[in-house]
Chains A and B, each alone.
Chain A
Amino acid sequence: MQYGFLQKALITSVMVGIISGVIGCFIILRGMALMGDAISHAVLPGVAISFMLGINFFIGAVITGILTAIGIGFINQNSRVKNDSAIGIMFTAAFAAGIILITFMKSSTDLYHILFGNVLAVRPSDMWMTLIVGIFVLLSVYIFYKELLVSSFDPIMAQAYGLPTKMIHYFLMILLTLVTVASLQTVGIILVVAMLITPASTAYLLTDRLSVMIVISATCGSISAVIGLYLSFTYNLASGATIVLVATALFFMAFIFSPKQGLLWRAIRTNKQKSAVS
């Protein structure tokens, strides 16, 4: 097929849109948006080391991602340093180490593409890897939906009836690093956080049920991927950035027009009430 590269790019981006949308829901509901940003940056040294050793970069990425998450938890629990500061300290350190490591490697994969993605250069092996990761992530969420729900909503109750909430936290961090690595080529490290947070926040404004939120979020993520890819290909724009801006546009539509939460209906309801009493 003539546009084979485009097909691979499309399948990969849609998958990334779906899984980051799904995981993103749990990230924002647990108030971990900053953590999502941190982990996505923290995979950089892992990716670099994996390239040097010639192993699959998912392995290195998960290791440095989880080490950073543990480091953040450790600093947070053992000092008066606040959580957001602990996150800032650890992820910038990991990211800086990653940049230095990458300058050592003189391979063809350059820093720019890891940071900002290059979806049109997706190889078949990358596509399959993304699909496998995607299926793993979706299955995990499906199987542990109940546990993820209760530990996000009421962690104290979850802990009280014996759920290993810490383990669930780190399991979610593992899923997060997998999603990040899967997104590397589509949107790149820097913008992964947008794919995690923006579609999920859009969905958050549109529904009052977690299961529905997950579906809407995944849909927004994949729609952003398709439209973004189309625009980036047609107008020769950076693919990751275009996808993210489409996701942002969807968010603002929900922000304004959401039936329950949107600015517009809120204003209309407020005015109606005001004129009713006056």
Chain B
Amino acid sequence: MKDAIVVSNLHVSYYGKEVLHDIGFTITEGKSVGVIGPNGAGKSTLLKVLLNLIPKDKGEITILGSTLKEVRKRIAYVPQRSTIDWDFPITVKDTVLIGTYPTVGLLKRPGRKERELAMKCLEKVDMTEFQNRQIGELSGGQQQRVFLARALAQQADLFLLDEPFVGIDATSEEMIVKILKELRDEGKTIIVVHHDLNKAEKYFDELLLLNKELIAKGSVEEVFTPKMISKAYGGQLSFLDGVMDK
């Protein structure tokens, strides 16, 4: 098994305030990994640093056996839903088509091949009938499915998703989880920033527990223990007791 991501000695700060401290981990290809931790733990930051959207202070990052620059086009990133302008004049179909832009290349337009690919991805998330809708007219779950379709159209090897399950309906959540599992079975690597501890153990192969520092990383059984969780969340979550007893 090759390594999809190797991070060592990673330090990140915003204006002198430390956000991530001495993070190191390895994720092997073909795994789905949930990044969990309390608010402000630096989960989204970690994804963004992997993509060099935020500069790091120090540390080594190897992605798909190479530097980010070499493999950018093999990575699909699904941002948090709240960062998107849902009033933008764009249809569902064209949103998914954007997923083909990285491979189409500069100065060229997506052609028939790309359109067919986009439609196939749209079908996969069961949104074909909405293809001509403006994206703001969809429900939260449908919007998230469209953005997953866009990521699928990127035909990437590594998928990074930032809080994909926030504010969406159960059907959409189930569908997204199913598709992510299929991708993993095809050998793709999936990394998901996730806030809901309830389902973390069902959704992922491995967990990365974060609170500025790396608290634990490993299989769900190893990480999802009361001891580890309370170490990450401190005294913040008394409702956890119920979850952990199950």
The answer on a CB contact under 8 Å between B91 and A161 is no
Interface residues of B in 71-104 (CB under 8 A from A): 72-73, 75, 77, 79, 83-85, 88-91, 94-95, 98, 101-102, 104
The answer on a CB contact under 8 Å between A157 and B90 is no
Q: Is B166 positioned at the interface, with any CB of A under 8 Å from its CB? A: no
Residues of chain B touching chain A, judged by Cβ–Cβ distance below 8 Å, are: 51, 53, 69, 72-73, 75, 77, 79, 83-85, 88-91, 94-95, 98, 101-102, 104, 106-107, 109-110, 134, 154
Residue of A whose beta carbon sits closest to that of B73: A161
The answer on a CB contact under 8 Å between A153 and B53 is no
A193-237 interface bits toward B, Cβ cutoff 8 Å, 1 = contact, 0 = none: 000000000001001111011000000000000000000000000
A198 to B75 Cα, complex, angstroms = 39
Give every chain B residue within 8 A of A154 (Cβ-Cβ). Answer: 79, 84, 98
A115-150 interface bits toward B, Cβ cutoff 8 Å, 1 = contact, 0 = none: 000000000000000000000000000010111011
A136-178 interface bits toward B, Cβ cutoff 8 Å, 1 = contact, 0 = none: 0000000101110110111011011110000000000000000
Contact flag A160-B89 (CB < 8 Å), given A146-B101, A208-B134: no
Contact flag A153-B90 (CB < 8 Å), given A160-B72, A161-B73: yes
The answer on a CB contact under 8 Å between A162 and B85 is no
Can you name 5 A-B pairs with beta carbons within 8 Å?
A153-B88, A160-B53, A160-B72, A160-B77, A212-B89
Contact flag A209-B79 (CB < 8 Å), given A153-B85, A161-B72: no
Residue of A whose beta carbon sits closest to that of B83: A156
8 additional A-B residue pairs with CB within 8 Å, beyond A156-B53, A161-B102, A210-B89: A150-B101, A153-B84, A153-B85, A156-B79, A157-B79, A161-B75, A209-B89, A209-B91
Contact flag A146-B109 (CB < 8 Å), given A153-B90, A208-B91: yes
Q: Is A111 positioned at the interface, with any CB of B under 8 Å from its CB? A: no
| Chain A residues bordering chain B, tally (CB within 8 A) | 23
A208 to B104 Cα, complex, angstroms = 24
Residues of chain A touching chain B, judged by Cβ–Cβ distance below 8 Å, are: 29, 143, 145-147, 149-150, 152-154, 156-157, 159-162, 204, 207-210, 212-213
The answer on a CB contact under 8 Å between A210 and B53 is no
Contact flag A153-B98 (CB < 8 Å), given A146-B109, A160-B75: yes
User: How many Å from the CB of A192 to the closest CB on chain B?
Assistant: 23
A143 to B73 Cα, complex, angstroms = 21
The answer on a CB contact under 8 Å between A159 and B53 is yes
User: How many Å from the CB of A156 to the closest CB on chain B?
Assistant: 5
The answer on a CB contact under 8 Å between B98 and A160 is no
Among B79, B89, B106, B110, the residue within 8 A (CB) of A147 is B106
Residue of A whose beta carbon sits closest to that of B151: A157
User: How many Å from the CB of A240 to the closest CB on chain B?
Assistant: 28
Contact flag A29-B72 (CB < 8 Å), given A153-B98, A156-B53: no
A31 to B84 Cα, complex, angstroms = 13
The answer on a CB contact under 8 Å between B77 and A156 is yes
Residue of B whose beta carbon sits closest to that of A146: B101
A209 to B109 Cα, complex, angstroms = 17
Among A29, A146, A156, A212, the residue within 8 A (CB) of B88 is A29
User: How many Å from the CB of A216 to the closest CB on chain B?
Assistant: 10
User: How many Å from the CB of A30 to the closest CB on chain B?
Assistant: 9
Among B77, B89, B94, B107, the residue within 8 A (CB) of A157 is B77
Give every chain A residue within 8 A of B77 (Cβ-Cβ). Answer: 156-157, 160-161
A204 to B109 Cα, complex, angstroms = 24
A156 to B107 Cα, complex, angstroms = 20
Query: Which residue, of A143, A161, A213, has the highest number of chain B Cβ atoms within 10 A?
Result: A161
User: How many Å from the CB of A167 to the closest CB on chain B?
Assistant: 12
The answer on a CB contact under 8 Å between B90 and A208 is yes
A22 to B110 Cα, complex, angstroms = 22
A161 to B78 Cα, complex, angstroms = 12
Contact flag A162-B102 (CB < 8 Å), given A157-B77, A209-B94: yes
Query: Which 5 A-B pairs have CB atoms at the shortest separation, nearest pair first?
Result: A208-B134, A161-B102, A162-B72, A160-B77, A160-B51
Contact flag A213-B89 (CB < 8 Å), given A146-B109, A161-B102: yes
Give every chain B residue within 8 A of A149 (Cβ-Cβ). Answer: 90, 98
Contact flag A209-B90 (CB < 8 Å), given A150-B98, A154-B98, A161-B102: yes
The answer on a CB contact under 8 Å between B73 and A204 is no
Give every chain A residue within 8 A of B72 (Cβ-Cβ). Answer: 160-162
The answer on a CB contact under 8 Å between A157 and B91 is no
Residue of A whose beta carbon sits closest to that of B154: A161
Give every chain B residue within 8 A of A157 (Cβ-Cβ). Answer: 77, 79, 98
